[in-house]
């Protein structure tokens, strides 16, 4: 961790997401940028030129209705009463409302308060202890989005770096023990639900040489030079994989019978970089490369105030 801290201070620093990317990932965590671009951009593109004026007028009128507090609260309640209005639909509606009212946070906050009061009244007669523990209503997702917007500057300027270093330290400790490559369960996890309960026998780690020009993906490919035999590329799945109960088991170092002290080196580099950089710097740059989400470009056509508040 000390080496990582020094490397961060020498290079680009903590890989913070830009505001648009941060908001998009928070509002639509399971939506890909391609789906959003197709959903919004495609709808406008397929609109007939004769219908385009009616579409623009309809959007303008609907935007005016969203500024009517009584209509908006009634609109949300009416949708939530629909039996086929799933939890994902409620979260998506809350995020779309957050984008539409992003430039009017005071109005958005007042709407959120009214909906929150209604949720408290409805939960008082049922099970109040479960309220706000799950994001199952529109207002709960609105609260999450509201807190994300308000805390972005604080996260970036104050607590972002300690949190990032804490995450790296936790991942480092988890990787010291056995971890399931498929389910993600680990021996040293902090979450009991993700605890790897099987007793997996481990041996001392096998050292492997790497080069500064390796990509992160390339690090997973290694070449083994056993004594008296030709070299071999080590892969998770190949023609030597063992079948068990109709499924192929992932290959391990034990599967290839690689023991400590044997010659084991990484595959020769095929892609070269113009500047020498450390492996940790490559990993940090990979973490900093966020998915380029284009949905806000489309949203800004209808809600230009969003762009002004970035």
State how far the alpha carbon of 73 is from the alpha carbons of 61, 84, 118, in Å. 17, 19, 10
What was the pLDDT predicted at 264? 44
The torsion angles phi and psi of 307, rounded to 5 degrees, stand at -65, -30
What was the pLDDT predicted at 171? 85
What was the pLDDT predicted at 192? 86
* Cα separation, 303 vs 35, whole angstroms: 19
How many CB atoms within 10 Å of residue 91? Answer: 23
* Cα separation, 198 vs 196, whole angstroms: 6
Local mean pLDDT, 10-residue blocks, the chain (310 residues): 57 76 85 53 57 80 91 94 91 92 93 93 79 86 93 89 86 83 84 83 63 49 60 70 77 64 42 32 36 36 43
Residue 90 class from Cβ within 10 Å (0-12 exposed, 13-18 middle, 19+ buried)?
buried
**pTM of the prediction?**
0.58
DSSP 185-239: -BTT-S-GGGB--S-----PPPP-B--TT--TGGGG-EEE--TTS--EEE-SSST
Three-state SS for 279?
helix
Partners of 209 in beta bridges: 265
What was the pLDDT predicted at 164? 86
HSE-up (13 A, CA, CB side) for residue 277: 21
* Cα separation, 213 vs 211, whole angstroms: 5
Domains annotated for the chain, with CATH where assigned, are 16-159+290-308 (1.10.506.10)
């Amino acid at each position: 961790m000390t080496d990582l801290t020094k490397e961060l201070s020498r290079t680009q620093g903590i890989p913070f997401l830009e505001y648009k990317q941060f908001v998009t990932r928070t509002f639509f965590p399971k939506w890909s940028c391609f789906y959003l671009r197709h959903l919004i951009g495609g709808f406008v593109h397929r609109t007939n030129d004769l219908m385009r004026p009616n579409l623009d007028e309809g959007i303008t009128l609907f935007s005016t209705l969203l500024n009517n507090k009584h209509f908006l609260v009634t609109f949300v309640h009416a949708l939530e009463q629909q039996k086929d209005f799933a939890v994902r639909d409620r979260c998506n509606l809350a995020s779309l409302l957050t984008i539409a009212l992003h430039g009017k946070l005071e109005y958005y906050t007042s709407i959120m308060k009214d909906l929150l009061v209604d949720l408290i009244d409805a939960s008082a007669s049922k099970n109040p202890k479960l309220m706000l523990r799950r994001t199952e209503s529109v207002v709960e997702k609105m609260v999450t989005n509201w807190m994300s917007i308000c805390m972005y500057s604080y996260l970036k300027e104050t607590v972002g770096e300690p949190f990032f270093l804490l995450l790296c330290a936790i991942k480092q400790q988890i990787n010291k023990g056995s971890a399931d490559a498929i389910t993600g369960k680990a021996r040293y996890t902090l979450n009991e639900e993700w605890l790897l309960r099987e007793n997996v026998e481990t041996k001392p780690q096998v050292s492997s040489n790497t080069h500064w020009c390796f990509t992160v993906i390339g690090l997973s490919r290694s070449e083994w030079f056993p004594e008296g035999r030709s070299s071999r590329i080590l892969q998770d799945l190949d023609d030597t994989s063992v079948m068990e109960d109709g499924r192929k088991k992932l290959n391990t170092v034990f599967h290839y019978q690689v023991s400590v002290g044997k010659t084991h080196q990484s595959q020769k580099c095929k892609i070269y970089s113009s500047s020498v950089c450390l492996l940790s710097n490559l990993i940090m740059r990979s973490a900093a490369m966020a998915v380029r989400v284009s949905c806000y470009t489309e949203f800004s056509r209808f809600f230009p105030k969003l762009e002004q508040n970035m």
